[in-house]
Amino acid sequence: MLKSFNRYNLAIVLFTALGSYTYGFNSSIIASVTGLPSFFDYLGLTSEGLRAAWSAEMIGAMNSLYSAGGLIGALSVGWLADRLGRKRSIQLICGFCVIASIFTTASVSIAMFLVGRTLQVIDTICPLYQSEVSPAHARGRMVGMHAFFLVLGYAGSSWIGLGCYFATNPNVQWRLCLAFQILAPLCLLCGSKWLPESPRFLIYNGKMERGLAVLKKLHSSSGDPSSSFAEAEFTQIQRQVELDRHSELSWIGLWKNPGTRKRLLCGFFVIAAAQSSGVLVINNYQIILYTGLGITGWRALLLLSIYTSWAALMNWVNAMLLDRVGRIKLMVIGMTGAALAVSCETAIVAKFAGTNNAVGNGFGIFFLFLFITFFASGMDACNVYLAEIFPTWMRAQGVAFSVSGLFTTTLIYTGAASAAFAEVGWKYYLVFIFVPLACVLIIWFYLPETNGPSLEEIGLLFGDEVAAHSEELSSKLNAQQNATISGVEVLGLDSEPETNGKTKVEKQ
């Protein structure tokens, strides 16, 4: 069995993660740009006076409309991925992101800016694609690059926001900050012609030779010169696809079948639970939070930059732990620790917000960093989990529906945040304590662990019939190849003899 992954496979996963970076950068850029005085001045926003309430509503709308656009994009990407393929969908969404980013950068009014935020469709297909090109034993590390690059996008937007703060030209200050949104999706779009199509998509659509060729290239290894691992995976995918064709259901049918219904509920729940920790509220309103603790100007932007960079490092740790610890344990530890950190942060804000108490404000910053340490190193496993639990025939629809949970909860939490902070202040953080702790119980007792099995074998956890096990196929293929070398014919893979004396894998 293949014990590692080759450089080509890793390069494909990392390059595709530019779409994840785009999501993180575009989502978090609003936290940076609202820390730039010129942005407030140009659009007529203020934190004081008669227009303060209106300004808070507009900032809330910037987050809410972005989430609304993401929700529309998430619900449509499932259809795109199944109709056009994974590769073409990535290209289309990247093109859309480039156009929308140009629109926001060139905004001349608050209305134009809000429209641009709405048009920024999120590239949610990246973890789906990454899961379909990754070997089972390294899938956690490889799909974990989605969360790592996503938070690198957060960090990138924070450092760019800090750099732009010192620009002397007011227009350059905020427009340059927003213009950097264009780079990552443009690079992915230009380089995407060298990306292979997902082998599972190819096999599902009857393009067997292309699918096998992609698998051999993805999993080639000096320790496996005969490509037995790729051939075993090809046979497993092919058989499972043929078996699953008899199980395909309509959208309504997905909810009637216990196995597919459980998958949909698990996928939607796990990512909604992650957002219920308050991670995006804390990130996107962090500048306002620091202001409440008496930290303003470039110092607030510097803290935001360090915070998001630390989060990216913790996401890398999460990716390295996924295949060793497992998905469920990491999520439970991460969510529990994050909730406890928020409870401490809430107490600090309630006691010291608006004061000059250096010790109290210092602890406020400490608990924010403790929160993201737990969340990023644990709960970000949800991105890998939702990409694994669906079979090929419904993976695009399932991931799309699951990711809609992210935008639905984000729309609720970030949309209400401005008004909630203005009306009830620190009490709003109580939501991010009690809801996550309730979610921990559901994750631990209800969600099955997916670490280890291939994507096809995960179906067993949801009561599906599995055509073949990868290790069994791999051992049979090795036996077949060894026997062929010895001049002995083996028919252990439901094969049939050909006239030339070689074996042939039956196409069901």
Q: Which of 18-22, 41-45, 416-420 has the lowest mean pLDDT?
A: 416-420
How confident is the model at residue 245, as a pLDDT? 80
Contacts of 191 (CB under 8 A, 6+ apart): 15
pTM for the model? 0.80
CB atoms within 10 A of CB 406: 25
Contacts of 319 (CB under 8 A, 6+ apart): 140, 141, 144, 145, 147, 148
- Axis-axis angle for helices 18-33, 139-165 (nearest 10): 30
How confident is the model at residue 489, as a pLDDT? 41
Cα–Cα distances (Å) from 256 to 46, 164, 251, 267, in that order, read 51, 53, 9, 16
Q: Are the beta carbons of 327 and 449 closer than 8 angstroms? A: yes
How far apart are the C-alpha atoms of 290 and 266, rounded to whole Å? Answer: 35
At 498, the pLDDT band (50, 70, 90 cuts) reads very low
How confident is the model at residue 318, as a pLDDT? 92
At 493, the pLDDT band (50, 70, 90 cuts) reads very low
By C-alpha distance, which of 184, 190, 227 is closest to 6? 227
DSSP state of 225: T
Domain 8-208+255-462 architecture: Up-down Bundle (1.20)
* Mean pLDDT, the chain, whole residue set: 84
By C-alpha distance, which of 263, 264, 341, 269 is closest to 307? 341
| pLDDT tens digits, 121-151 | 666 788 889 999 998 888 888 999 988 999 9
Kindly report the backbone phi and psi dihedral angles of residue 503, in degrees, each rounded to the nearest multiple of 5, phi listed first: -95, 155
How far apart are the C-alpha atoms of 152 and 258, rounded to whole Å? Answer: 38
pLDDT above 70: residue 273: yes
| pLDDT tens digits, 428-476 | 889 999 999 999 999 999 999 999 888 888 988 888 877 766 555 555 5
pLDDT above 50: residue 486: no
Domain ranges of the chain: 8-208+255-462, 470-503
Kindly report the backbone phi and psi dihedral angles of residue 496, in degrees, each rounded to the nearest multiple of 5, phi listed first: -135, 145
| pLDDT tens digits, 280-307 | 788 767 777 777 667 778 888 888 889 9
| pLDDT tens digits, 330-361 | 999 999 999 999 999 889 888 877 677 778 87
State the average pLDDT over residues 68-87.
84
